[in-house]
Structure 1
């Protein structure tokens, strides 16, 4: 029976059993693992995401590169996700490439340049940021699934629907304070499905709840700090890099603090899996479009082994 080696890592943390767990399944060059087999393996791990990492190649520029496929627990394949990207970057560069400082991941959303120094991975994220505007999304549609918020929190400060890339969609809900964010513990359940713009109506949708924790929006170091939670149905994610990229693009366009804005996001606190996510976002010269998104974070290995699967 064929076998594949795997590791699990906790991502957006340096402490085991915090952050967001990720399974990385290594696929040898001479092995063809079908989509259906990937789906079955993803179901078995039952983590929020499982990444299939194909054997290392060398790019035309001489840097190591890896073809990757990312699957969510639904299960389904998705074009891009943040915590698998950072987890794979940390593992591939620190372990497989024997300490190389830069490389490349080739995912369905496009090539991702990665760097790894001092235990932190940085990834130039493929992006096609879009703020949905064809359909109004009323507060009542959100509160219908968050009754605790209605009773205790009043109205959200802002509600937007954003996509960092096509196929990844998030209702971005700004809450007034951390107390409102914590009350969401009692409000997990059916989530609203956003009405997306016609040409963008596909893929995954979730709700990202956030609080800007800087009293004056931006501290002395020029960093915007957020506390976040990502909820989809009865599922809560400890760390969501793609949603983080989406909400930071939204805020960079709204706040216009400068062409480049640094964000530090803390997620997963309420579920006991604190995650630290970094986003460096650059707008174009006219500050009306996203030019570059860099996602950063750490990862620590937790388990390794072999899995068996049917041909």
Structure 2
């Protein structure tokens, strides 16, 4: 009977039972595609990771599954996997091979050697305007955005919508069926000022507590539209509405509307280890 070892982590938090849940199977070599997908459905977290030997110069290769499909890249699975694997490998930088290329993650440790923070260099997203915003506003039950509504793609796809205030953001109650009808995209709604922002991300599965792959695009969006300076780190609070408070940090480097580099950071904590028997 095969036994697959796993680690459960909460990502973008240092507190158990907060942040975004992640399952990491540390040796996926003997697991076929169909079984990976079935395990992800069994676990039921937004993402489950399977670790494999590297193929293109990275430290390891990872495959990321939602309960229903495989993703080329996602933020909290990359950061969480780096925390899980970085401790036994004793590396300061771990490079994860993903469907969107190799993602380096710099790990910071305290005096005891414990990993306390990670910073991942994300794929630079593509950007395009959303030509027809009416379905987006209808799904959100909103009438407009404080900034241009644009679509960012860095593996997953996100539509960004600026909300006037954090109070308005907290009160949002989107039409979930209409959000799902927008297609294979998330809608990141955000409010704030300066370097402090709050976000809520709605998608066909509901609301995400911490969306690492959208944090980088948010920093890009704010810099491109003059709300922050290029190279300025922002702090993003997310997840309070679903009782999974999370904190993300993001920096976008560039200028003249062009994005050169994107980095997203945060913490993670291991909360369980075990074996799955098949």
Tell me, yes or no, whether TM beats 0.5.
yes
1:95-110 to 2 correspondence within 5 Å?
A: 96-97=88-89, 99-110=90-101
For residues 179 and 255 of structure 1, what CA distance do their matches in structure 2 show? Answer: 23
Matched, 1:295 2:275: no
Find 2:48's aligned residue among 42, 47, 50. 50
1:130 alignment partner in structure 2 = 126
Q: Is 1:83 matched up with 2:79?
A: no
Going from structure 1 to structure 2, the CA distance change for 1:189 and 1:159 (only over 3 Å counts) comes to farther
Q: Answer yes or no: is the 8 Å Cα contact 1:282–1:290 preserved in 2.
A: yes
Match of 2:85 among 83, 92, 99: 92
TM-fit CA distance, 1:59: 8.7
Counterpart in 2 of 1:191? 179
| Displacement after TM superposition at 1:18 (Å) | 0.4
1:241 maps to 212
Q: Tell me, what secondary structure is at the counterpart of 1:132?
A: strand
Q: Distance in 1 between matches of 2:203 and 2:43?
A: 19
Q: SS of the counterpart of 2:26?
A: strand
Give TM-score scaled by structure 2 length: 0.89
Q: Structure 2 vs 1, CA of residues 49 and 58 (structure 1 numbering), >3 Å: closer, same or farther?
A: closer
Measure, in 2, the Cα distance between the counterparts of 1:136 and 1:24: 38
Seen in structure 2, the aligned counterparts of structure 1 residues 58 and 43 have a Cα distance that, compared at 3 Å, is closer
Q: Distance in 2 between matches of 1:107 and 1:58?
A: 10
The alpha-carbon deviation at position 25 of structure 1 amounts to: 0.8
Larger Rg: 1
What is the CA–CA distance in structure 2 between the aligned matches of 1:41 and 1:243, rounded to whole Å?
A: 25
| Residue aligning to 1:116 | 107
Asked if 2 retains the 8 angstrom alpha-carbon contact of 1:86 and 1:123, the reply is yes
Q: Is the 8 A contact 1:49 1:71 kept in 2?
A: yes
Residues 4 and 259 of structure 1, relative CA distance in 2, 3 Å threshold: same
**2: CA distance, partners of 1:240 / 1:246:** 11
Number of residues paired by the alignment?
272
3-state DSSP of counterpart to 1:260: coil
RMSD: 2.3
**Rounded Cα–Cα distance in structure 2 between residues aligned with 1:234 and 1:298:** 24
Structure 2 Cα separation of the partners of residues 190 and 249 of structure 1: 26
Match of 2:185 among 205, 210, 217: 205
Partner residue of 2:167 out of 179, 203, 207: 179
**Structure 1: which 5+ residue stretches go unaligned?**
196-203, 219-223
The alignment's TM-score, normalised by the length of structure 1, stands at 0.80
Kindly provide the CA deviation profile for residues 49-100 of structure 1, in whole angstroms up to 9, marking residues without a partner as x: 1111125x6997xxx7111011122x11111100001101111112x21x32
Matched, 1:26 2:26: yes
- Please tell me whether the aligned partners of residues 145 and 162 of structure 2 are also in contact (alpha carbons under 8 angstroms): yes
Hey, what does 1:200 align to over in structure 2? none
Contact 2:149 2:161 in 1 (8 A): yes
Q: What is the Cα deviation at residue 168 of structure 1?
A: 1.6
Q: 1:143 to 1:186 in 2, by over 3 A?
A: closer
Match of 1:71 in 2: 65
Once the two structures are superposed, the pairs formed by residues 246-265 of structure 1 within 5 Å of their partners are: 246-255=217-226, 257-265=228-236
User: For residues 32 and 294 of structure 1, do their structure 2 counterparts lie closer, same or farther at Cα, with a shift above 3 Å needed?
Assistant: same
- Residue correspondence of structure 1 range 123-162 to structure 2 within 5 A: 123-127=120-124, 129-133=125-129, 136-138=131-133, 140-147=134-141, 149=142, 155-162=144-151
